[in-house]
Structure 1
Amino acid sequence: MNLFDVPDILPEEEQTELLLNGTTRIERIVSSGQTSDWYDQTEDEWVCVLEGEGELEYADGSRQRLRAGDTACLPAHLRHRVSYTSAPCIWLCVFRPAE
């Protein structure tokens, strides 16, 4: 799989599981202008924008703009949502149990 191969038309966000073992999950997420509802996840999450731009909004009202190469660490139960994505925006996400 090439992480940068994306469909020309993407009506919905596309999530592809790249690895799943007992404790860790790695996903590629391709967004094309989609935003999300609020997340309150039980896992820690590390994200990296590989292509495009995205913005995370946190429950305290702060925002974090991510461009290609930028990363963010989201500890479990940090309420957040995706408030903006470019078309396309390719995310690499690693999920693991909270410590």
Structure 2
Amino acid sequence: MTQVNNLLTNLPDASTAEVFEALAGAKGVEIERIVSHGQSSPEIGWCEQDRNEWVMVLRGAARIDFDATEDAGLGKSAELREGDSLNIPAGCRHRVGWTTPDFPTVWLAVHYPADQDPFGEAS
């Protein structure tokens, strides 16, 4: 059955931890909604994924920090506001520096194979 869903309503409580919700997927691809509420990544360690990740902030704001020892062409950090998106290549060490503390930040994230560019062409 086809159902219309609104990604900005019926938000889960993310006051104590980020909430990750799978929305759709296919072989090697995962689409998820992430709801944050003032969270940041732990100061110890970086996120380093084996897949590319495209993220978009639908509501709220956030900063993503990148490992200064690497040069993925993304700079030291990226601040994302509503409607902003960013493609994080596989293997790029990153973490969430902050998300808005006063209300939820809602993200849309698409994880896809490292051998695919953002436009779906095999490398």
- Bin the TM-score by the shorter chain: over 0.9
How does 1:62-73 map onto structure 2 within 5 Å?
62-73=76-87
| Counterpart Cα distance in 2 of 1:22 and 1:93 | 16
Structure 1 position 20, deviation (Å): 1.9
SS for the counterpart of 2:39 is coil
Equivalenced residue count is 99
Aligned-residue CA RMSD (Å):
1.5
Give the Cα–Cα distance (whole angstroms) in 1 for the partners of residues 95 and 78 of structure 2.
11
Tell me which amino acid in the other structure corresponds to 1:10. Answer: S
Aligned residue among 19, 43, 47 for 1:14: 19
**TM-score, scaled relative to structure 1:** 0.93
Higher strand share: 1
The ranges of structure 1 where at least 4 consecutive aligned residues each deviate by more than 6 angstroms after the TM superposition are: none
- The CA distance in 2 between the partners of 1:7 and 1:59, in whole Å, is 30
Bigger Rg over Cα: 2
**What is the letter of the counterpart of residue 94 of structure 1?**
V
Identity %: 41
5+ residue gaps, structure 1: none
Gap change, CA 1:31 and 1:19, over 3 Å in 2: same
Q: Is the 8 A contact 2:57 2:84 kept in 1?
A: yes
User: What is the TM-score normalised by the length of structure 2?
Assistant: 0.75
CA displacement 1:32-80 (0-9 Å, x = unmatched): 0011141010000000000000000000171110000000000000000
Consecutive unaligned residues in structure 2, runs of 5 or more: 69-74, 116-123
